[in-house]
Structures are given as structure tokens and as C-alpha cells.
A and B are shown apart, each in its own frame.
Chain A
Amino acid sequence: MATNPDSVRILVPVGMLGAGFPPETVARGLALGADVIAVDGGSTDSGPYYLGAGTAKTARAAVARDMRLLLRAAATAGIPLIVGSCGTSGTDAGVDWVAGITREILAAEGLDLRLARIYSSQQAAELDLDRIRPLPPAGELDRVTLESCANIVGMMGHEPIAEALTAGADVVLAGRATDTAVAAAYPLLKGMPAGPVWHAAKIVECGGQCTTNPRAGGVLATVDATGFTIEPLDPANACTPTSVAAHMLYETVNPFTMREPAGTIEVGEAVYRALDERRVRVEGSRFEPAAQHTIKLEGARITGYETMSFTAIRDPHILGQIDTWAALLRKMISEWVSGTIGLGEGDYTFDIRRYGYDAILGELDPAAGPPREVGVMLLVRAADQETATAVAKVANPLMLHLPTPDMDYLPSLAFATSPAETERGAVYEFVLNHVVEVPSPTSLFRICLEDNR
């Protein structure tokens, strides 16, 4: 049996596969002795659509461009490449999408790398409600809600990835995984201590986000027996104790403790120290194993179909009474829809947003005052697309000509496009914020090792 190394170097080229990075930064990482390349392929941050529809946020050509560079690098250096949360949401379709892109590149480049796919989609009927626990602020889950999901994924920890590597994979394409598991799997497999590994994995998960210039490419983390050292791949970029420590704040509820499937990362007592002008040493991070292994579930369901219409106002007279005008628009839409196509409350809902006035913050907005111009978005939601579009079309003459009550003529407002209406298709919402207790960290995941040699 091979003895464990003294340290493991993790190369993270970019925060999200498909976002792009300078090729020379990866070459630099290899020159620094990278032992593994890890990159995240997804996130829930852009909303429930990508999980619900099972499609990627990133462009195929952009993912292929990044993958080509990373596959070449992995083959050149003879080190593994791990991609997590393939296809944005990590559904089985997302894994297959990235696998298809990868196979094309391997064939075109003549690269001899063994591929493993790890699937994380879950069937509602196979999940045991008695083993599912809510996370705040969610409540208890019922079977109807669970089964309403268009897609459900389980968020894997490092274990399925480590298993695929042990089985001989050179390239691991994982379904939904924690951002940290992607970077933690290889150093844990090589016997590095859990505290520094998980903390390093959290720091590198967004690539250059923990540096002073997040746009200058990724980072290299070196984990050893007592801690980890982090540096940017671009020699002109820097990590400082502040830039590294501040990354724990990013998109986290609690910056000191973070739950993983196997336990909890505790970094409250970690010490960040500058080794020089661009490298930071971190020690004192801990990982507390959990008594019960849990897998977080993510699920999205269709809530309806939307049609959007967008007009704009520049006339100072209307803008001076924008609240009155918008209230009248709301009232008139309801009346006209009822009078023309016979639909009432319960058949559809809509939102009127005044961009340039208060669309983003609404009543929370601390500023007030007459706007110079306002874009008016009408967003109609109904149980089917036809109904949503019918409502938006009935509203069309109002979006074009509605005057304020004191005007005795019909103004014509500025539609942004022709046609004014855009069908948005199915819209989704996240409905799961729960974990499921599992007998084994790999039980919800299917590992497929390809024999493509």
C-alpha cells in the first residue's frame, strides 16, 4: 500500500465550469505541482429554473472550452480532474450533458482518460419521509409536496467521488455535490486531516473569489498535516489574510460553522497568517464528524406558466402620478380580463413592476422622488401558457394607451419589443429545504465507471 504524501495540492481554475479562465493560470498550477484539479459546475444561486427544467445555465461551447483545457492539463500532469454539480443543477441530465461534451473532447484530442459519472437524481417514491428532516426556515415535508417536484437531487459529500477515484477514474463527473466535496475528496483520500481539508475546500470553492483580484483566474491550496497554504495561480494576483478570511462570509448564513454530509466545519478559531505578499497560511480549522450522516435534498416544482409584457413611460405628467397610474392599470387589467375572457381571481395572478421607480425594493426602498423614465413590466402567471398569454394580450391596449385619471386624451407609451409579450414557459420554485438521514454516504448515489480505454 502506498504511503500518504506529506501534502496535497488542489488546483481550482475557476469558480464555475464554463465561466472561463486564462490558460496560463492552469499551466502555472501544474508547474507548482498540482495533485488534483477540482471545479464546481453548478449552483442554486440563479434560481429554481435550472433544477426544475434540468438544463444548464452555462453555454455548451463555454463548458467545452474550459473542459478541453482542463482535460489536457489532467492528461499532461497525470492527475485526476473532478467536476461537481454538472450542468448547473447536478441532475442526471446535467451529468450526461457534461459527459457528452467530455467524450467528444477525449476522442478529438486522443486523450486516454477513464471517466466516471456519479448520478444524484432522486425518485420521490423511493425517499422515506420518516427519515427526512426540515432545515430552518422550512417546515415538515409531506408526500404531496415531495411528489410535486419536477426534479429532486441529493447533495453528495466527498465519499462517492473518493470511491470513483479509488475505482480508477481519471475524470469524475459528479451530479449535485456540496461545493466543498469536490475539492475535499482527493486530499481526504490521501490521508490529509479533515479540518484543514474542509476549510481549504470552502476557501477555494469559488476560485479566485478569495484573492484580491477575483477576475484573474483560480487558486492553488496546499493541504498538509497542520493546516493549508493558499495562493493565486496568477503571479500578479494575491491572497491576503483578509481576502481569504472574508471569503467565509460569501453566500453563507453562518461564517464560522458549515454542515457537510459527514459533519460540521468549524473555523471560528482558525488563524490566517501572511507567508509573504501573496500567500496565506491557515491553521486551527476543525471538522466535527456527525453522529448521523445526512444528505441535503433540493427539489423544484412547476408553479405555473408566465407571459411577460414590457412597456415604458417618459411623459413627465404620467410619471408625476406613477402610483396612481399603476393602481389604475392593476384595476383595469382585472376588469378587462373579467369582461373579455371571463377569468377572475384564482385563474391567474400578475405582478406590475415599475423599473426606474421602485421595482427592486418596493416598499423597502429608502429613496423617493419622481423618476425620469420608468419601465413597466407586467408578469402574468397562470396554470397554462395560453391563459397567461391571453391575459397579457388583453392588457396590451392598457400597457399602450392607459392615461392617468386627469388626462382627457389617450397617450401612447413605449413598448420595448414587438410583439410586446414574451412567453416565459414553465416557471418553477424550490420546495425542498430538507435533509435525509442515510445509512451510508454513498447509498443515494450511482457511480458508473466507463471502460473507454
Chain B
Amino acid sequence: MTVVADLALEVRSKNAGPFWVTMEVFARDADAYAVLADPSFLDASVIARLYDVAAEGVQFFRIPSLNVVKISFPRPVVQGSLHDRDIHAGQHHVPLAMLAVPPVD
């Protein structure tokens, strides 16, 4: 099974200030970018499901010049609160990185 990480040089996540989390997928090449940037594969509803957040709050930036898909959404758990297990949100890329990519026919 091919997953997002297999098509990427790097998948990363980080706080964008205390109230937002942002993540980037650096696609391996233009072909991989075409797969990852396709809204029928990856859009706000998919992110909402992976991260249990509201789809309306999810922002997408598809940047072909860098082969990058960038996604930002309000941090679902307040930074530093009792239930925040990732202060920098630096490990929250994993559900996205392990998302299965549909086979190309």
C-alpha cells in the first residue's frame, strides 16, 4: 500500500502560533504533486476526518512551484493544556503521512 509519505520528500507539522497547527507535504516531484494536490484525493473533508476537526476551519495552499501542499487549521487542543500531548505539534503530521494513496490506474 502506498501512503502519502511514500510520495513525499518530507511531511511535517508544527504550531503556527499557539492557536493554529500547520503541515506541509513536500512532494517528491511534479507527478507526486499532481496526485497529492488533487482535491478529489485530499481536501478539507479528509483533513477533518483524519484530525477530528471542522472542515470549515481547514485552509489549503497548493503551491506547484514548490511541489508543496500546505494545510492549516485551528489547533484542536489548546497548547500547553492538560490534554496537549504535543506542545510544538511536531508529531501531528503522522496521520496525514500514513494516509493511503489510491492506486493509479
Q: Using a CB–CB distance below 8 Å, which chain A residues touch chain B?
A: 44-49, 135-138, 242, 245-246, 249-256, 303, 306, 349-351, 353, 359-367, 379, 381, 427-430, 433
Contacts and interface: CB of A to CB of B under 8 A. Distances in A.
Interface of B: 14-20, 22, 24, 26, 50-52, 57, 59, 61, 63, 65-66, 68, 70, 72, 74, 78-83, 85-88, 91-92, 94-95, 98-99
Given A249-B70, A253-B59, A353-B85, A48 B20 contact: no
B18 A430 contact: yes
A253 B85 contact: no
Contacts, number: 99
Nearest to B50: A364
Contacts of B26: 246
A246 B87 contact: no
Contact of A253 (B16, B68, B78, B80): B16
Given A246-B68, A351-B82, A255 B63 contact: yes
A256 B85 CA distance: 30
Given A137-B57, A251-B15, A361-B95, 12 more contacts: A47-B18, A48-B18, A137-B19, A138-B19, A245-B66, A249-B22, A351-B83, A364-B50, A366-B99, A428-B80, A430-B80, A433-B19
Contacts of B59: 253-254
A367 B14 CA distance: 21
Contacts of A427: 80
Given A137-B57, A254-B61, A364-B51, A429 B87 contact: no
B85 A362 contact: yes
B80 A249 contact: no
B81 A429 contact: yes
B95 A365 contact: yes
A361 B88 contact: no
A359 B84 CA distance: 10
B61 A251 contact: no
